[in-house]
Amino acid sequence: MTSQPLLEGKDLCLSFRQKKVLDNISLTVNAGQIITLIGPNGCGKSTLTKVLLGLQQPDTGSVRTQRNLRIGYMPQQLPLDERMPLTVSGFLRLTRRSTRADIAHWLERLNISHLGEQSVHKLSGGEWQRVLLARALLVKPQLLVLDEPVQGVDVQGQLELYQLIPALRDELGCAVLMVSHDLHLVMSATDEVICLNGHVCCSGHPETVSADPAYLELFGKRLDDGIAYYTHHHDHEHCDHDHGHEHTHDHSNNHPHDHTQSKQHD
């Protein structure tokens, strides 16, 4: 029996001042799946995310979500009024139906318990990202939507956050839709990649996308320039070689896809 998708966007088009930002994009998010949208700056990743969340109307196309779907959204930016005194715990209590116990749980799970009474205006970029993630988790999401979750986070912190995402998916049984600039950083944390540049350039398992001519056209130059990149070594077995979607992972510890050892410099 196949279950209904959590979310389905069909033939989405959107232009801003005659510039086509979304060009006939369709995508489906199924329960438990981690999907990553990648693409260069300004290619429409955040816009697509907002359209899928119903925060932005498409010109044409449709979005269908499962009834009463609980979505935890971590936006790219959340401007706060600097004049408003607000602690981290106070900020998280603004989330609907959040309890003190849930807040304490997520602060501890994300290793930021020590920040509970700190002013939200005095946090580092990486700390703020974790607070925003805690806020998204407090709604007990069936779908977690993360727009550039590692923005302002140092490289070690980025690796930790990307290792955390599949673990959170397993703990909550939720699906994840996230936005990233860097396929090689996220490839161990994602089941499917959708590479955008207005339209969908290519999509599929991260290994497949990283070798796709359309992906290399967009990102290949970066590798030629000699910037550090990752080689991904599988620690799991694929059941379906043709489609590459079904695979079993070893989730026996908190870091189910620890690929940090495979970092290679060009």
Ligand X SMILES: Nc1ncnc2c1ncn2[C@@H]1O[C@H](COP(=O)(O)OP(=O)(O)OP(=O)(O)O)[C@@H](O)[C@H]1O
Smallest gap from Cβ 156 to ligand X, in A, equals 22
Separation CA 257–CA 244 (nearest Å) = 17
Rule CB under 6 A: say whether 43 interacts with ligand X. yes
Pick from 45, 205, 257, 259 the residue near ligand X by CB under 6 A: 45
Smallest gap from Cβ 161 to ligand X, in A, equals 17
Q: How many residues bind ligand X (CB under 6 A)?
A: 10
Smallest gap from Cβ 185 to ligand X, in A, equals 14
Pick from 36, 47, 180, 188 the residue near ligand X by CB under 6 A: 47
Range 15-34, binding ligand X (CB under 6 A): 16, 21
Where does this chain touch ligand X (CB under 6 A) — which range of 35-43, 64-72, 156-164, 168-176? 35-43
- Looking at residue 103, its amino acid is I
Rule CB under 6 A: say whether 151 interacts with ligand X. no
Q: Measured from the CB atom, is 43 or 175 closer to ligand X? A: 43
- Looking at residue 219, its amino acid is F
Q: Which residues does 208 contact at the CB level (< 8 Å), separation at least 6?
A: 244
- For residues 266 and 226, the answer to whether their CB atoms sit within 8 Å is yes
What are the φ/ψ torsions at residue 133 (nearest 5 degrees)?
A: -65, -40
CA torsion 53→58→62→67, rounded to 10°?
20
Pick from 29, 34, 44, 190 the residue near ligand X by CB under 6 A: 44
Joined tokens for residue 153: 């986070």
Pick from 41, 57, 77, 254 the residue near ligand X by CB under 6 A: 41
Q: Measured from the CB atom, is 45 or 169 closer to ligand X? A: 45
**Kind and range of the H or E element at 133?**
helix 125-137
- DSSP E strand stretches across 108-254: 143-147, 175-180, 192-197, 199-204, 229-230, 237-238, 247-248
How many residues are there in the chain?
A: 266
Range 163-182, binding ligand X (CB under 6 A): none
Pick from 11, 26, 42, 262 the residue near ligand X by CB under 6 A: 42
Residues that bind ligand X (CB under 6 A): 16, 21, 39, 41-47
